[in-house]
Chain A
Amino acid sequence: MLDFPILSITILIPFLAAIYILAFAPSQKYVQVISLSASTLTLAFALLLLKNFDVESYDFQFVEQYTLISRIGLDFFLGIDGISLLLINLMAFLGLLCVIYALSEIKQRVAEFMFFFFLLQSFIIASFAALNLLLFYIFFEMALVPMYMIIGLWGGANRIYASYKFFLYTLAGSVLFALCIMYFYKNASTLSIPELYSIGYELDPRHQKWLWWGVFIAFAIKIPMFPFHTWLPDAHVQAPTTASAILAGVLLKLGGYGFLRILLPILPQASKDLAIYPLIMSSVAIIYASFAAISQKDMKKTIAYSSIAHMGFVTGGIFSLSYVGINGGIFQMLSHGLISAALFFTVGSLYARVHTKQIDSYGGVAAKMPALASFFMIFMLSSIGLPGTSGFIGEFLCLNGLFEQHYFISAISAFGIVLSAVYMLSLYKKVMFGEISNQVIATIADLSLQERFIFTLLTVAIVLLGIFPNYVNKLLKPSIEIITGAIYVI
């Protein structure tokens, strides 16, 4: 076991890089060097966490705990288990890829972009590692500001509206969550998540229902689940490619992580009673978002709606409250993170060359960009859930878990796979195949070296996860057993 505060260091590296870039305003070249080294170093530390993780242990690992303000229960309490470990690695990995992509995509004010991006990375890793509810909430909220600035400064034409919507919608949910945290501290006298696991079910049963809804809505807005999803298409379409990739890849997973870490174990009785509502919302999300994706004319909006549909699988798996389902939910979170980041990078590459996101302006790109066409094919098939890719494992496990408890909802959700094939295949056909009708396409170049590097890494990750999923499942076993144990003991 390592005895230096590795989690704090992993959080601090991007933060210090951000402050350094802001304070010393280095030149363009130097910013590239700093950003690349900072994100590589973060990835190195995340892999170090992975290597030193003990797969048999049921406790939280790499724990650091210091009391900060005892009057409201704030402690600096960090620690990870299998779920947070994988999500931190996902963030570090996607962070590196996004930095590489952003250095070639963002032309103006690169230093400020890197500043906001590293702040975002630092706060999100801290959210995943936080084991004190108030600390988690603080980092959760702090992550909103850099995202708002990124969408607002480097986004598309309607970016102000999209950034406001994202910020205020998420803030509304967080405020409900804050009230629940205050209730927890008043009644349970502790905000530390491991302790709350053992005393959460003793809270007043009349209030548990309201607490459950409060916490649920906060994370349902983040994921986003069906009635609260309207901020996502706007935010994704208007954000720059790198921001969309990190938004879809990691920020959405904060919601799922919140369900797994906070909602299910601390309020198990209410979760069991009220699980039917998220399940209905999930299946509606899958079907509705898939149909919405079929009818879109904007490439990025199609993929945004497909994100909503895939996260519908995640919530379906989580709220099936079965071991297989929760396993599938977490796996789908990881796989969707990789796949949607890959799809957004693809769309970004196309946009950078043709300067439009309307599907009608495309056609026949495969003839000019065979490398992109191949990568896009792999990502598109994994989004559909082709066996051999991680998308299949995720969706299959979720549906399996759902089928044990609610076969009707599972049947409806399974239909979503067919629909995802419809919109993905038609998107691919319209963009890649056919004749070249747009003259701009006749002049475009194939992928650059950075893009090839990013796409190759993503492909390798997706295929590896698809063929050897048990590397991941092994890490998750203790955590899922704790969650299902909490639920089925009651």
Chain B
Amino acid sequence: MLFDLKLSALAPGALLLGIALFVQILNLFTRLASCSLSMISILLVSGLILFIYYVYPCAMHLGSGCSGYLPHTHKIQICLLVFCIACNIFFIISQQIRLEEFPSEYVSLMLFSALGGFIATSAQDFLTLFMAIELQALISYILSSMAVRSSLSSEAGLKYFCLGVISSCVMLFGISLMYGFVGSISYYRISLDSGCSFAIALILTGLLFKLGASPFHMWLPDVYQGSPIFAVNVFMTINKLTVLISIIRLRCQLDMFFTVAAVSSLVVGALGALKQVNFKRFLAYSSIFNVGYILICLVTKDYKLSVIYLLIYTLNVFMIFSILASLGIEIDTLQILDLQGLAFRAKFQSILLAICLLSLMGIPPMLGFAAKYYVLYKTVATGNYYLAVFASGMTLVPAYYYLRIIKLMFLEQVTASFLPAKLLSYGALCNVLNVIGVLIVSFGWVVAL
């Protein structure tokens, strides 16, 4: 037979597709607001999480659903769970953000994006991978231009689209070159002879573009600055996770490529953020810097650590967004100087925000310090001493500008700022979530990673 249909193995992806379509239909035909839609999605995705964790393992041994898919293993199951959990956390956080002006399609779009992640995780040949990456990319283009009243958002979407299409073309060229050299698009036929390594380099170029690594990072600051906040959340979590898992699945040995990308990401991310005044642009450069750390993990071939580092970074950024959102601050147009004197207006949230910033900086005993320490330890342990010294040296530069934000919050007086006159306190739930998140950030690493 041309293909083997063992449908029960396709169940998670099919269920997620069903949920996404259901939410979209609800959105079209009822007048539910986006917070109700995200509530429904939270429930459905939680059901999916329980399904994948408890029910699905008995179907995993049945083999893959179709030829492009890998039979699901334990690791893949964990990746699927992570995507679902990330979606859920984001929906919970988005309850606090005032999103009345934005079209409510973002809920279903995010679910489709997670579906792209599902496909990319279980892909075993290049075209399936390409399909998944393109699905996510198209959704990202839509999401980034979704703030219909902002011209900055349209500009961001257009830039992302143009550059993203070029990078997809480069990736496709690499895939076709690989097919030309080897005769197959399956992962198992990847070789690293001279022509093939060029092909792999092109594929990785396309993937690193999506990840936001230097020297393919040019789109990141502009797109992050212009996109609405939920789009930035999707970019930071689901897109990066998908691309990282795909790179790991490729298992190629291009050390020099990753080292150069890592070094330039660290430099660009560290130095680029020094002069930024816009908060989201600043976060974009800090994400470039942390992608540099992830690439260092890939150089040391500790793939599990790279995913863990990305998750820890994502948690940190989620907490920052959540805390700012629970204060009612409009993150889309936030300038860093607007945070001046925040400690006088909202002391409790400022302390939580300071703990998250210290964690991003890499100060013990926070989770961010643990992540950076593990990565650097692995680098020293595998003998890349120069890389370790360079990475730890470049970590001092972000320390300066995170410290500057803490200084602005605590040590400066409140000026005529942009914060709403009465800082909303949405009640206990957001604060409880914030506190739990920050406690995880503070002490979570004592649970031995």
Chain A positions within 8 Å of B, measured between CB atoms, are 68-72, 137-139, 141-142, 144-145, 148-149, 152-153, 160, 163-164, 167-168, 171-172, 175-176, 178-179, 182-183, 185-186
Contacts and interface: CB of A to CB of B under 8 A. Distances in A.
B363 interface: yes
19 contacts: A68-B446, A69-B445, A72-B377, A137-B364, A138-B365, A142-B363, A152-B411, A171-B399, A175-B392, A175-B395, A175-B396, A176-B392, A179-B389, A179-B392, A182-B373, A182-B377, A182-B380, A182-B388, A183-B380
B410 interface: yes
B407 interface: yes
A139 B365 CA distance: 9
A167 B396 CA distance: 10
B364 A141 contact: yes
Contacts of A182: 373, 376-377, 380-381, 388
A141 B380 CA distance: 20
Given A141-B364, A145-B363, A178 B407 contact: no
A171 B358 CA distance: 13
A153 B412 CA distance: 9
B448 A71 contact: yes
Interface string B377-404: 1001100000011001101100110010
B396 A172 contact: yes
Interface in B393-431: 393, 395-396, 399-400, 403, 407, 410-411
A182 B446 CA distance: 18
B396 A186 contact: no
Interface of B: 358, 363-365, 373-374, 376-377, 380-381, 388-389, 392-393, 395-396, 399-400, 403, 407, 410-411, 445-446, 448-449
Given A142-B363, A152-B407, A178 B396 contact: no
Contact of A160 (B364, B393, B411): B411
A228 to B, nearest CB: 15
A72 B411 contact: no
B381 A164 contact: no
B411 A153 contact: yes
Contacts of A141: 363-364
A175 B393 contact: yes
Contacts of B388: 179, 182
Given A182-B377, A182-B380, A164 B403 contact: yes
Contacts of A144: 363
Contacts of B446: 68-69
Nearest to A142: B364
Contacts of A168: 396, 399-400, 403
Contacts of B377: 72, 182, 185-186
A231 B114 CA distance: 50
Nearest to A139: B364
Nearest to A151: B411
B380 A186 contact: yes
A152 B411 CA distance: 6
A150 to B, nearest CB: 11
A444 to B, nearest CB: 31
Contact of B448 (A68, A138, A175): A68
Minimum-distance CB pairs A-B, first 3: A138-B364, A182-B380, A186-B381
Contacts of B445: 69
Contacts of A145: 358, 363
Given A148-B403, A182-B380, A69 B396 contact: no
Nearest to A214: B389
A66 B400 CA distance: 35
B411 to A, nearest CB: 5
A224 B168 CA distance: 54
Contacts of B363: 141-142, 144-145
Nearest to B365: A138
User: Chain A interface secondary structure, helix, strand, loop or mixed?
Assistant: helix
A347 to B, nearest CB: 24
A357 B358 CA distance: 34
Nearest to B393: A175
Given A72-B377, A142-B364, A185-B377, 14 more contacts: A71-B448, A71-B449, A137-B364, A153-B410, A160-B407, A167-B403, A168-B399, A168-B403, A176-B392, A178-B392, A179-B376, A182-B376, A182-B380, A186-B377
A391 B57 CA distance: 73
Contacts of B365: 138, 142
Nearest to A167: B403
Nearest to B399: A171
Nearest to A210: B385
A85 to B, nearest CB: 25
B361 to A, nearest CB: 9
Most chain A beta-carbon neighbours within 10 Å: one of B373, B376, B449:
B373
A152 B448 contact: no
B448 A178 contact: no
Contacts of B373: 72, 178, 182
A137 B362 CA distance: 13
A145 B411 CA distance: 13
A129 to B, nearest CB: 16
Contacts of B400: 164, 168
A149 B364 contact: no
Nearest to A153: B411
A153 B409 CA distance: 11
A149 B393 CA distance: 23
Nearest to B372: A178
A148 B403 CA distance: 10
Nearest to A70: B448
A12 to B, nearest CB: 15
Nearest to A149: B410
Nearest to B383: A186
A69 B388 CA distance: 21
Contacts of B411: 152-153, 160
A385 B376 CA distance: 46
B410 to A, nearest CB: 7
A132 to B, nearest CB: 13
Contacts of B374: 71-72
B209 to A, nearest CB: 31
Most chain B beta-carbon neighbours within 10 Å: one of A148, A171, A178:
A178
A148 B407 CA distance: 10
A175 B392 CA distance: 6
B329 to A, nearest CB: 23
A275 B269 CA distance: 39
A148 B400 CA distance: 12
A179 B380 contact: yes
A138 B381 CA distance: 20
B396 A171 contact: yes
A22 to B, nearest CB: 8
A167 B445 CA distance: 24
A138 B370 CA distance: 10
Most chain B beta-carbon neighbours within 10 Å: one of A149, A171, A172, A185:
A171
Nearest to B377: A182
A382 B392 CA distance: 42
A155 to B, nearest CB: 9
A381 B411 CA distance: 39
Nearest to A169: B396
B304 to A, nearest CB: 12
Contacts of A164: 400, 403, 407
A141 B365 CA distance: 9
B299 to A, nearest CB: 16
A138 B395 CA distance: 16
A194 to B, nearest CB: 22
A133 B396 CA distance: 21
A142 B366 CA distance: 10
Contacts of A171: 396, 399
B8 to A, nearest CB: 38
Nearest to A67: B448
B376 A178 contact: yes
A176 B400 CA distance: 17
A139 B364 CA distance: 8
A46 B358 CA distance: 31
Contacts of A175: 392-393, 395-396
